[in-house]
Amino acid sequence: MSYLSKLHRIFESGQFAVTAEIGPPKHASAHGIRHHAHMLVNHVDATNITDCQTAIVRLSSIAAGVHILDCGIEPIVQMTCRDRNRIAMQSDLMGAYSLGMRNVLCLSGDHQKFGNHPMSKNVYDIDSLQLVQMVRRMRDEKKFLSGEAIKEHEPRFYIGAVANPFADPFEFRVDRLEKKVEAGAEFIQTQCIFDMERFERFMEMVRSRGIDQRVRILAGITPLKGWRAAKYLQTGVSGMLVPDSLVERLKKAEDQKREGIEVAIEQIKYIKENVKGVHGVHIMAIAWEEVVPEIVERTGLYPRPRFEDRDTAS
Amino acid sequence: MIIAQQKPIKEIATMVGDCKRVALIGCAGCVTVCLSGGEKETEIMASALRIMRRLEGNPLETVTFTATRQCDPEYVDALEGLVKDVDAIISLACGVGVQYLAERFDKWVVPALNTDFIGGSTVHGIWEEKCGLCGACILHKTGGICPVIRCSKSILNGPCGGSQYGKCEISKDVDCAWQLIYDRMKKLGKIDRLLEIQPPKDWSTSRDGGPRRAVREDVMIG
């Protein structure tokens, strides 16, 4: 069997995948990205490269992906629907593939209101579901969105999407996940899990409909630096659920950062042991990449699998 | 209807700062209903401008009239005598009216309003946007709630991950259109229709396709 990417291969080999996240900087140097990549290279299977997250202008996710790849990590290039129309998206998908990117994560993107250019005009020519469908169509049908044939060298991405079990309406979240799978998503990253009970209810619905058999699900884990971070996510970010008990636990801790790491480790262990249908974790250590190796090691996920032959299709 | 709001009076005064005599033309259509450019607002604006200019020691002469509709050549033609001797025309219509006046008369025409959106009132004094003018209505697929304009990301397969407690991620004051769509479809027993993947929209019927034109040959004369 040939694999679309290393991440694809990890999943197909039945191993519990570990991915992390690298956010490109607000400047034109790759120094920081490469520093983080070197830090994570032995501990993760791939890293997401965010696409101007929270609508803040940052170094391009595709360009950052080239640096990450050069450091030995497989990138998962994020692509949002906020800033590009279908012409630019298809162009960038082909460009990214030509530069060695093999995974793409399709998402709507945060509204520009949150960023450093709230006066900008958003695009949303297509939505995240339609983007998934488009990437799949380019690959499997060798067609542009318009229907025109891609005569040769179609981009062959392993296609990801996101799911947020903590947003509303809760009962429709599994339906929407299923729609994304129908559209062609092959792996899913979830929003940061803090409310484990809700996540388990979500996964129960996912399993009861057999969706976990059709798509690989990475549970989103975010270590928190302290109770203020928890409180901010609880009250300031729409679509997040942070239980009061977690805020309190961090508040009471002598060393809050240490406690944040412990919580993340407990969550991963719990999910790995108890939540069926999850195929890996996606660790989003926001501006705290250096804690990822410890989390991976202490959850028994280290060392990461190595493949002797070529990892990906080229 | 078209919802428009008045520009700040200082901004309007600046636009006609070098004029001695201006015509203020209201419109009895949409902008009368949304209380921004009808007869009453036209008279009030004319007095405000006259008072401002008198206080500056540079008096302004005004003539006022409220046309039945500024988006109709027939009613615009009738203004010819009125605007003959003015240095500028201030239109209190939507952007359509301003352009009709500018097209018809060789005069400096300035807008008194910002044309905001098409929508309606919820309670007296509050208007809300309801239609995105996309040119290819999909309201039959979304329970009569327009995601093109009421979803801040125009998502056709919503709701996105930013929807919580019925509100949009952009503000706690903004309802999530997809929550409304979901609730309504549920009430009507048609949730299954939301499971269908909506294909990418053809925006060529929207603003993106250049200025649009509607032709009804059956009602054309001659």
pLDDT of residue A314: 42
**CB atoms B156 and A238 under 8 Å:** no
**CB atoms B200 and A124 under 8 Å:** no
Average pLDDT of span A247-263: 97
What's the pLDDT tens digit per position in A146-192? 999 999 999 999 999 999 999 999 999 999 999 999 999 999 999 99
pLDDT at residue A94 greater than cutoff 60: yes
Indicate the range of A82-86, B75-79, B209-213 predicted with least confidence. Answer: B209-213
Bond into B159 cis (ω within 30): yes
User: Please, how many CA atoms are within 13 Å of residue A213, restricted to the half-sphere of its CB?
Assistant: 5
Interface membership of B192 toward A (CB under 8 Å) = no
Beta bridge partners, B121, equal B127
Return all residues near A197 (Cβ < 8 A) that are at least 6 apart. none
pLDDT of residue A313: 45
**CB atoms B157 and A82 under 8 Å:** no
pLDDT of residue A1: 77
The token pair at A300 is: 């028994």
Which chain A residue has its CA at the smallest distance from B176's CA?
Answer: A168
Kindly list the residues from chain A whose CB atom is less than 8 angstroms away from the CB atom of residue B156. 127, 130
pLDDT of residue B208: 80
* Helix or strand (DSSP H, E) at B126: strand B126-131
Kindly list the residues from chain A whose CB atom is less than 8 angstroms away from the CB atom of residue B199. 130, 133
pLDDT at residue A309 greater than cutoff 90: no
Task: For residue B184, give how far its alpha carbon lies from the nearest alpha carbon of chain A (Å).
Answer: 12
**CB atoms A124 and B155 under 8 Å:** yes
Average pLDDT of span A133-145: 98
pLDDT of residue B209: 79
Q: Which of B138, B136, B182 is nearest to B158 (CA)?
A: B182
Tally of helices (H runs) and strands (E runs) in chain B: 8, 9
Q: What is the DSSP string of A64-75?
A: HHHHHHHTT-EE
Interface membership of B182 toward A (CB under 8 Å) = yes
> What mean pLDDT value characterizes chain B?
96
pLDDT at residue A311 greater than cutoff 70: no
Chain A contact probe: residue of B160, B195, B197, B202 with most A CBs at under 10 A: B160
Q: Which residue of B152, B161, B197 is in closest CB contact with A182?
A: B197
Residue B222 banded pLDDT, cuts 50, 70, 90? confident
What's the pLDDT tens digit per position in A215-248? 999 999 999 999 999 999 999 999 999 999 999 9
Neighbour-count burial for A234-272, b at 16+ CB within 10 Å, e otherwise:
beebbbbbbeeebbebbeebeebbebbbbbbbebbeebb
**CB atoms A110 and B169 under 8 Å:** yes
> What mean pLDDT value characterizes chain A?
96
Q: Which residue of B170, B176, B195 is in closest CB contact with A179?
A: B195
Q: Which residue of B155, B162, B201 is in closest CB contact with A167?
A: B162
pLDDT at residue A50 greater than cutoff 50: yes
pLDDT of residue A310: 57
What's the pLDDT tens digit per position in B192-221? 999 999 999 999 999 887 889 989 999 998
Interface membership of B158 toward A (CB under 8 Å) = yes
The token pair at B64 is: 């006022």
Q: Which residue of B168, B194, B197 is in closest CB contact with A183?
A: B197
Q: Which residue of B152, B158, B194 is in closest CB contact with A111?
A: B152
pLDDT at residue B73 greater than cutoff 90: yes
pLDDT at residue A103 greater than cutoff 50: yes
Return all residues near B45 (Cβ < 8 A) that are at least 6 apart. B6, B9, B12, B24, B90, B92, B112
**Total CB pairs under 8 A between chain A and B:** 100
Interface membership of A110 toward B (CB under 8 Å) = yes
Chain A contact probe: residue of B145, B154, B164, B203 with most A CBs at under 10 A: B164
What's the pLDDT tens digit per position in B138-170? 999 999 999 999 999 999 999 999 999 999 999
CB B145 within 8 A of CB B180: yes
